[in-house]
Amino acid sequence: MSDVALMLRQVRYTNKAFWRNPASAFFTFAFPLMFLVIFTSLLGKGTVPIGGVLIKQSSYYVAAMATFSVITASYTNIAMSVTYQRDSGILKRVRGTPLPGWAYLVGRVIHALLVAVLLVALTAAFGAVFYGADLPTGALLAKFVLVVVAGGASFAALGLATTAIVPNADAGPAVVNAIILPLLFLSGIFIPLGDNSPAWIRTVGTIFPVKHFADAMRAGFYGRPFRFEWHDVLILLLWGLGGLVAAARFFSWEPRK
């Protein structure tokens, strides 16, 4: 059997394991929708000025929670689950099988992308039904799908790189959340960063990939008045490439002592 066939089989096995844990699968899909309802209930009644245009905050949060769902499925879940598998000896045993290491990890990443796409579709449908959010169509839809795939792959690579700095599985949730949660706030995921927001917050946010991903997702989701910028996708992919290089250099298959 070819390495590609083994990789595709790994995708299928990972998918089966995911759905055979119904509690984990349920909360993976319920979490972004729960946040969408909470934030729109608390902060979604008014408008926020972005780029000189007033945007309904309820619509803003639909695109923001779609962005959050991709990051959760690719970065957070990959970083935590792979760290657990490393420290429980699963990765070490995988290395002793005919399955190539790259095929195992690529299979995990492809499964994360599939989950991310399902989460985005569910969030978009929920937003369209309950909050009147517009759905991307035509050329806008093609850009939106490209951004989702690019973002999912990039954050999955960063998730694999993050496992190198997580000392053990118990520390995984703390380390991963300490990295991603501040960036979610600084990038306007949970609280809209309008034209009146502090300049230093917007400046810090532009350094990291979350804000560029959020901007590209928002522009791909709604189109005007947001302007789709290809440099946001380029910066996102560069961060993903950096994560891939770091993972290739520092990723460990052995449990940490």
Q: Is residue 84 part of a domain?
A: yes
3-class state of residue 170 by DSSP:
helix
Q: Is residue 92 part of a domain?
A: yes
Q: Is residue 58 part of a domain?
A: yes
How many distinct structural domains can be found in the chain?
Answer: 1
pLDDT (tens digit per residue) in 112-154: 999 999 999 999 999 888 888 778 877 788 888 999 999 999 9
Rg (the chain; Cα; Å): 18
Q: Is residue 256 part of a domain?
A: no
Distances (CA, A) of 114 to 110, 156, 157, 212, 251: 6, 12, 15, 21, 23
Rounded CA-CA distance 35/61 in Å is 9
HSE-up (13 A, CA, CB side) for residue 248 = 8
pLDDT (tens digit per residue) in 195-254: 677 888 888 889 999 999 998 998 888 776 677 788 999 999 999 999 999 999 999 999
Domain that holds residue 166: 3-250
> For residue 180, what is the enclosing H or E element?
helix 172-186
Residue type, 132: G
Q: Is residue 246 part of a domain?
A: yes
pLDDT category of residue 54 using cuts at 50, 70 and 90? confident
Q: Is residue 197 part of a domain?
A: yes
pTM confidence score: 0.91
Angle between helices 57-71 and 172-186 (to 10 degrees): 150
Q: Is residue 221 part of a domain?
A: yes
Q: Is residue 257 part of a domain?
A: no
